[in-house]
Amino acid sequence: MQYSGTENNITSSTVKEAALFVSKLFTNPLFANLFFHNYVHTQTGIQAAQELIQNMSVSSSDAEIVLIAGWFHDTGYCTKYTGHEEVSKGIAQSFLLNQGWLLKITCASMRSLFPRP
């Protein structure tokens, strides 16, 4: 697995599928009035995460988790503003289960990626 500073060079199929899934989700009319938590904001976060991954000693599996979390972090806004984090977790978990990730790994990832405030 190799990560570079541009979205097109990500080689993880799960990260590519997450990017595609989220880009389609952001076409939902419920996102139309969000001026900050939108697709551009998400892409900017992904680019920053990729730069950090490139410049730090991050394992491929950790990089994959960070990038997947980055793609899904604001997806909950498609249904509600307050409490969107829990919705985002649910969307990410459903996606990961559909991608064949084991429930145990998914639950552990969700706890580490979206800790309770």
Determine which of 11-20, 67-76, 94-103 has the lowest per-residue pLDDT on average: 94-103
Burial class of residue 99, CB neighbours in 10 A (0-12, 13-18, 19+):
middle
From the number of C-beta atoms within 10 Å of its C-beta (0-12, 13-18, 19+), residue 63 rates as buried
Does residue 17 lie in a domain region?
yes
Residue 1, in any domain of the structure: no
pLDDT at 20: 93
Give the model's pLDDT for residue 9: 42
Q: Is residue 102 part of a domain?
A: yes
Q: What pLDDT does 7 receive?
A: 39
User: Is residue 73 assigned to a domain?
Assistant: yes
What confidence category does residue 106 fall into, taking pLDDT thresholds of 50, 70 and 90? low
Domain that holds residue 77: 7-113
Looking at the domain assignment, is residue 2 inside a domain?
Answer: no
> Based on the structure, what is the number of domains in the chain?
1
Write the pLDDT tens digit of every residue in 39-61.
Answer: 788 889 999 999 999 899 888 88
Please say whether the beta carbons of 31 and 91 come within 8 A. Answer: no
- Domain assignment of residue 48, yes or no: yes
